[in-house]
A = this chain, B = another copy of it.
Amino acid sequence: MRVLGIDPGLVATGYGVVESERGDLRHIASGTITIPASRPLSARLRMLYDSLGEICSRYDPAEVAVENTFLAKNVAVALKLGQARGIALLVAELAQLPISEYAPTEIKIAVTGFGGAAKEQVQLMVGRLLRLSVETTTHHATDALAAAICHLHSGPWRRIVARPREVASRTL
Contact = CB atoms under 8 A, between A and B. Distances in A.
Contacts of A101: 41
Interface in A79-136: 79-87, 89-90, 92-94, 99, 101
Contact of A72 (B41, B42, B78): B78
Contacts of A170: 40, 42-43
Interface residues of A, number: 37
Contacts of A39: 169
Given A45-B89, A45-B93, A90-B49, A40 B169 contact: yes
A80 B86 CA distance: 8
Q: Which 7 A-B pairs have the closest CB atoms?
A: A82-B82, A83-B86, A78-B78, A86-B86, A42-B93, A79-B82, A42-B89
Interface of A: 38-43, 45-46, 49, 70-72, 74-76, 78-87, 89-90, 92-94, 99, 101, 163, 165-166, 169-170
